[in-house]
Amino acid sequence: ALVMMSQDFKKGLPLIDGHGNFGSIEGDGAAAMRYTEARLQKITQEAYLADLDKDVVNFVPNFDETEKEPEVLPVRVPNLLVNGAEGIAVGMSTNIPTHNLGEVIDAVKAYIDNRLLTVEELMQYMPGPDFPTGGIIANKSDLLQIYETGAGKIKLRGKIEVELGRRKADRDKLVITEIPYTMVGAGINKFLMDVADLVETRKLTDVVDISNQSNKEGIRIVLELKKDADVNKIKAVLYKKTKLEDTYGVNMLAIDDGRPETMNLKQILNTFLEFQYRNMTKKYNVLLQKEMEKKEVQEGLIEACDVIDLIIAVLRGSKNMKDAKECLMTGNTEKIKFRVPGFEADAKKLHFTERQATAILEMRLYKLIGLEILALQKAYKETLRKIREYKHILSNQKNMDVVIKEDLDSIKAEFAEPRRTLIEDGE
Q: What pTM, to 2 d.p., does this model score?
A: 0.88
* Overall average pLDDT of the 78-99 stretch: 92
Nearest to 139 by CA among 154, 117, 120, 124: 154
Instruction: Round to the nearest angstrom and report the end-to-end CA distance of the chain.
Output: 38
* Overall average pLDDT of the 409-423 stretch: 94
* Overall average pLDDT of the 353-362 stretch: 92
* Overall average pLDDT of the 139-164 stretch: 93
Whether 285 and 295 have beta carbons less than 8 Å apart is answered as no
Q: Residue 258: what pLDDT?
A: 86
pLDDT band at 140 (very low <50, low <70, confident <90, very high): very high
pLDDT band at 340 (very low <50, low <70, confident <90, very high): confident
Q: What is the pLDDT of residues 386-405, one digit of tens each?
A: 999 999 999 999 999 999 99
Residue 158 has pLDDT above 80, yes or no: yes
Residue 169 has pLDDT above 70, yes or no: no
Most distant pair of Cα atoms in the chain: their distance: 114
* 3 state DSSP class of 149: helix
pLDDT band at 246 (very low <50, low <70, confident <90, very high): very high
Can you spell out the DSSP letters for 303-361? HHHHTHHHHHHHHHH-SSHHHHHHHHHH---TT---SSTTHHHHHTT----HHHHHHHH
Active site amino acids: 35
Residue 91 has pLDDT above 70, yes or no: yes
The whole-chain average pLDDT of the chain stands at 91
86: enclosing H helix or E strand: strand 85-88
pLDDT band at 186 (very low <50, low <70, confident <90, very high): confident
User: Burial level of 126, CB count in 10 A (0-12/13-18/19+)?
Assistant: buried
Q: Residue 31: what pLDDT?
A: 94
Whether 122 and 103 have beta carbons less than 8 Å apart is answered as no
Q: What is the pLDDT of residues 43-88, one digit of tens each?
A: 999 999 998 988 899 999 999 999 999 999 999 999 999 999 999 9
* Overall average pLDDT of the 23-29 stretch: 89
User: Burial level of 17, CB count in 10 A (0-12/13-18/19+)?
Assistant: middle
Q: Residue 187: what pLDDT?
A: 84
Q: What is the pLDDT of residues 188-234, one digit of tens each?
A: 889 999 999 998 998 888 888 899 998 888 899 999 988 888 888 99
Distances in whole angstroms, Cα of residue 265 to Cα of each of 123, 251, 268, 269: 9, 12, 5, 6
% of the chain exceeding 90 in pLDDT? 68
* Overall average pLDDT of the 236-257 stretch: 92
% of the chain exceeding 70 in pLDDT? 100
Q: Residue 336: what pLDDT?
A: 84
